[in-house]
């Protein structure tokens, strides 16, 4: 599994066909089937919301058919971003977003994804939640 190529899909303009090279179609994301077209749309949404994106890989653990990665996305918030806690309009702020992914891989393709993003900390950084929450 070329993890660098997978991460690059999220940083550059990519089409559904690009995602199909590395992901099952559909692929469950937190238990919900997501098509390659939807993955490409999610990537475009991230690219529209965040400029100057840099991924800092903190942990990479491989066990059998799973890869667990912990990383920070360093970004500048330039467009609207939908979070589970609400929509965040562009602020221009530089952010450090903490994410953990558990990827199941079969035959060189990701067949299951569990994503855990620290949305509370993100909303704090955006000024949408008090620092004490």
What CATH code is carried by the domain that includes residue 73?
Answer: 3.10.450.50
Number of independent structural domains in the chain: 1
Q: What is the pLDDT of residue 133?
A: 59
**pLDDT (tens digit per residue) in 96-125:** 999 999 999 999 999 999 999 998 899 899
Q: What is the mean pLDDT of the chain?
A: 94
φ, ψ of residue 18 in degrees (nearest 5): -65, -40
Residue 71 domain-assigned?
yes
Give the structural domain span for 98.
3-125
Q: Is residue 132 part of a domain?
A: no
2-31: b or e for each residue (b if 16 or more CB lie within 10 Å)?
eeeebeebbeeebeeebbbebbbbebebee
Mind listing the pLDDT tens digit for each residue in 29-80? Answer: 999 999 999 999 999 999 999 999 999 999 999 999 999 999 999 999 999 9
Would 131 be classed as within a structural domain?
no
Residue 84: pLDDT band by 50, 70, 90 thresholds?
A: confident
pLDDT digits 0-9 by tens, 124-133: 999 888 877 5
């Amino acid at each position: 599994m070329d993890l660098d190529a997978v991460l690059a899909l999220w940083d550059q303009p990519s089409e559904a066909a690009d995602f199909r090279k590395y992901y099952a179609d559909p692929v469950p994301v937190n238990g919900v089937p997501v098509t390659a077209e939807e993955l490409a749309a999610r990537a475009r949404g991230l690219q529209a919301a965040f400029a100057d994106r840099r991924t800092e890989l903190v942990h990479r653990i491989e066990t059998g058919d799973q890869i667990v990665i912990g990383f920070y996305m360093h970004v500048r918030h330039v467009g609207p971003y939908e979070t589970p806690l609400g929509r965040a309009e562009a602020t221009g702020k530089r952010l450090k977003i903490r994410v953990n992914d558990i990827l199941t891989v079969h035959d060189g393709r990701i067949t299951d994804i569990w994503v855990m993003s620290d949305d509370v900390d993100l909303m704090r950084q955006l000024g949408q939640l008090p620092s004490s929450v």
